[in-house]
Structure 1
């Protein structure tokens, strides 16, 4: 009996091995348990469908997350820079303009300059009395001294503005480095350009004031030379 059982078992295993090696597919049969039919292939198909549906849901969630991140970045790009140095820069420009407006005797005005030069420099009459020559010479000397004083005041104002500009540069560079969006970075850069323009304006003002002083002194020297020749002529004529 045992020998016959072993033979049947061995024969069944041999048949199974032969079918597998030949490429046969063994499909599980439907089972009925407690009156309910269980189909393994249908069960596997349902699991595969559920897995694919879950994958699609995960992809949709990722797309929504990417869209939310994009919206957040766009909102950051629209945020304005919380720091503004415009008022300080305008104050520095106004102070420099005030110093230029305080020019003594001969202002930075084309009409005033032309009128004064005609009266005391270029068109000064050398045929007048000695007292008139002395008055004109003294006026020209006062023009030169006042112009050099004005130039020094403008230069001092520029130096003061340099300290304020240094503070503004530090504030703007820090704000630019911590900018959360493109708009904030661009606004910080624009304010740095405005600061540079203000510094160039101060430099131009200092050069203009210094040039004014030098030109007035050169004009005074030329007028003094002309008066010197006239006085020497009168001296020789008197002798």
Structure 2
């Protein structure tokens, strides 16, 4: 599957890969901060944003999509930055197609089976009858029944679009619900990725833990790590300037 992309800037190509329920727009601020030094290719993963839908959400297929998209853009290789689920897709890309990845930046994610943190969100999303929605405020009111955090609801509602057939989610809710265990899965590897890797951890987040370090070193022997204090899992949105500087310093080193 060739993915939808937004491309800005000039220079070394840099793929940006968003997380679950999101789209390339989630990394738009980072794209703007890096576009003066890189050719930034912001992608929508399969079943998200403006890219195509399918019943399969496996990381092996996400990685193959990224390769096909790079081929369509004439990119032999690129630096790759992925956040959360997008970080796992980036890991799988590097592990399965190592020559296509020059450097790898992984934002607050680890190569392990993740905790099932989204079951309440999936339940809340599936409880909405899109055919009866009047507007986004109506959707927000319904989501409040299962999601108390206004920021999470606002993030999800960015993917609610009104079409000539009524309201629709840009993400493939049915596939993400049915294949949620695939989203939680660890990337698969037959050998290590030997290129430069930077893990960036949100200081207040528990997605990336010290106990994951042996596996990280096994899969990514040249991995380094940075912590952005005072941030959670959405570190790139909470402190975008610090995140962009750390990323640029690593990629240009």
TM-score, L = length of structure 2: 0.21
Q: TM-score by structure 1 length?
A: 0.22
The structure carrying a bigger helix percent of its residues is: 1
More strand by share: 2
Q: Specify which structure has the bigger relative contact order, considering alpha-carbon pairs within 8 angstroms and separated by 6 or more residues.
A: 1
Considering only CA atoms, is the larger Rg found in Structure 1 or Structure 2? 1
